[in-house]
């Protein structure tokens, strides 16, 4: 590689490393709580107990954290996705909305985190466009639950396994679909007669769905698809039918009957299935937020200078 | 918190943060490749491109990495669990077994990693019992596949969703069980007549299993259980029956008919079901390896001084 790497490609490669999601919090001299969402947290040392987190120099709160004597790291559970989104935003009322309390050092600590660490400022290391903030853990604790995970610019949770396991135990009709993404665009099927659009699926009331059918749906075309993980599960209480949506990646040109749509151009009014509508709306919202603002504490950068 | 934190409790709290698994590799002056498994990797900066990884000072290869001009970070896929275990060990033939090649800088790069980064030594930061090694990315690339994840001292993968989804689409008998752990001990049911032991399960050929039944199996006793994520799935091709094992945590005394067994004391000869035998043997092996050697690049510490 000569010269600087393409930041978009580098970011995509870096996003192959799975992480959890944390809220990093502190307070200003006047007591105002500040915080942002970050995935660039890691354990450093057990004796003495040290952890680190990376802050974007361009982030609004970077100077506050550089100067703070204490800060907290709050590891989010899968039930705190909303809090992750809130702290990845630039809203000024984050701490009015999210439940929190003051820790022993007076630092804000998020309620019900999977784990929390109160830290004393230990060392700052300047490193390119970020600052490495090393803290000495002065107090910590943990809760119960399952983690909120982050992979390839999107959240994942392990909690979706439960409805799957329960669905296995029942006899149900199943539909399996996938949201295939390619560089911020989504592959949708377009009905040539009505103009209605749908996420690609296999299975219906009559035909049993299976993953193999989904994976081979576009065989014989130039489209290549890869499914990543289960993104959403819906159960129709009336019919007992279960619909499972995967998240996936697509490469190659859109085959006949399908089209790539940029997030902004998805014709939501052309999606007739309300569960599919809700799922895709959430997907787009999370992809924007997840891809642009959580990564490495880029609280601001993502908003004003979206990559991808 | 006064004084030093209990390292076991601190480690448990830190392990609530989900990570991927990487192999960090370099070569000695004489060309000998060296490498170890670590989860303490994080992105630091995009411009210039910087990443960091933490090395235990006590690790055998720490001095080699401190002195190395280049190193590689290899993010493992779920298919590379074996490579993770290999590099978490002290075996001297790691690079004879794992497929690898020399990168542009001559640094060993693991074949088929989900992502790989060749790095030039940028900065070393001493931090307690570890060293933070910051590298400037000089070359990188990515593969396809799903990540190997690490959470609460154990691997997890997203790939188990696929057989679950396929099982939903079929009409099957299901058994659901859980390996409940408590501080390195496993809860097993003991048949009072035969002495045979089994992992707690619900469902059989006649009775439909569901998660609720598993969760409430020990209601009315002092045992409290929490399931975490699906650990293994077996399908009996002959009967079509699917067995799903969760990983979970238990607290409280073992109720009548059950007992906690230390990993070393599990009476494997008393497990009659071969799939259950295989699953539990793998669980114990991974729990030992995962909990003790991967964490923060503790290549050596875990082996000579197991925590937990």
pLDDT in tens, B27-76: 999 999 999 999 999 999 999 999 999 999 988 889 999 999 999 999 99
DSSP class of B121: E
Predicted confidence band at A227 (pLDDT cuts at 50, 70, 90)? confident
Contact between B128 and A45 (Cβ < 8 Å): yes
* Best of A161, A180, A213, A229 to mutate (most B CBs within 10 Å, chain B): A161
Structure tokens at B246: 């969760």
Q: What is the mean pLDDT of chain A?
A: 87
Phi, psi for B219 (deg, rounded to 5)? -55, 140
Tally of CA atoms within 13 A in the half-sphere of A177 that contains its CB = 23
- What is the distance between the alpha carbons of residues B263 and B129, in angstroms, rounded to a whole number? 29
Q: What is the mean pLDDT of chain B?
A: 87
Among B48, B180, B55, smallest CA distance to B126 is for: B55
pLDDT of residue A301: 33
pLDDT tens digits, B151-201: 888 888 887 777 777 777 666 678 889 999 998 899 999 999 999 999 999
Tally of CA atoms within 13 A in the half-sphere of A128 that contains its CB = 19
Helix ranges, B217-306 (H): 274-289, 301-304
pLDDT of residue B282: 87
To the nearest whole Å, the CA of B181 is away from the closest chain A CA by 14
Question: Does residue B301 carry a pLDDT above 60?
Answer: no
Question: Does residue A204 carry a pLDDT above 60?
Answer: yes
To the nearest whole Å, the CA of A29 is away from the closest chain B CA by 23
- Judged by DSSP in three states, B24 sits in strand
Q: Which residues contact A261 (CB under 8 A, 6 or more apart)?
A: A185, A186, A187, A188, A197, A267
Question: Does residue A102 carry a pLDDT above 60?
Answer: yes
| From A33-37, A91-95, B173-177, B276-280, the region with the lowest mean pLDDT | B173-177
Q: Hey, are the CB atoms on B43 and A54 less than 8 Å from each other?
A: yes
ipTM over 0.85 threshold: no
Structure tokens at A192: 């040539």
pLDDT of residue B5: 79
Contact between A25 and A74 (Cβ < 8 Å): yes
Would you tell me the crossing angle of helices B81-88 and B274-289 to the nearest 10 degrees?
50
Contacts of A42 in chain B (CB under 8 A): 17, 19, 40-42, 52, 54, 296
- What is the distance between the alpha carbons of residues B104 and B114, in angstroms, rounded to a whole number? 18
């Amino acid at each position: 590689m000569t010269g600087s790497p393409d930041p978009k490609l580098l970011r995509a490669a870096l996003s192959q490393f799975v992480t959890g999601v944390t809220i990093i919090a502190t307070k200003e001299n006047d007591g105002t709580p500040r915080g942002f969402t970050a995935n660039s947290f890691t354990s450093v040392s057990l004796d003495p107990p040290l952890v680190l987190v990376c802050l974007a120099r361009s982030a609004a709160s970077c100077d506050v954290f550089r100067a703070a004597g204490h800060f907290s790291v709050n590891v989010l559970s899968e039930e705190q996705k909303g809090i992750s989104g809130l702290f990845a935003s630039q809203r000024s009322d984050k701490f009015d909305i999210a439940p929190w309390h003051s820790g022993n050092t007076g630092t804000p600590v998020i309620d019900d985190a999977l784990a929390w660490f109160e830290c004393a400022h230990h060392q700052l290391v300047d490193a390119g466009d970020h600052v490495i903030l090393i803290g000495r853990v002065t107090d910590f604790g943990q809760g119960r639950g399952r983690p909120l995970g982050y992979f390839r610019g999107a959240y994942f949770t392990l909690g979706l396994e439960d409805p799957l396991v329960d669905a296995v135990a029942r006899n149900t009709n199943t539909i399996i679909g996938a949201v295939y993404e390619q560089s911020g665009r989504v592959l949708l099927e377009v009905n040539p007669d009505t103009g209605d659009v749908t996420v690609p699926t296999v299975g219906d009331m009559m035909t049993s769905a299976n993953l193999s059918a989904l994976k081979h749906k576009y065989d014989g075309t130039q489209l290549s698809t890869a499914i990543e993980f289960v993104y959403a599960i819906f159960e129709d209480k009336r019919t007992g039918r279960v619909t499972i949506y995967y998240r996936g990646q697509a490469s190659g040109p859109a085959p006949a009957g399908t089209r790539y749509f940029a997030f902004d151009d998805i014709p939501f009014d052309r999606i007739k299935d309300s569960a599919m509508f809700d799922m895709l709306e959430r997907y787009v919202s999370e992809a924007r937020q997840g891809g642009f603002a959580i990564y490495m504490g880029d609280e601001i950068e993502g908003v004003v200078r979206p990559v991808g």
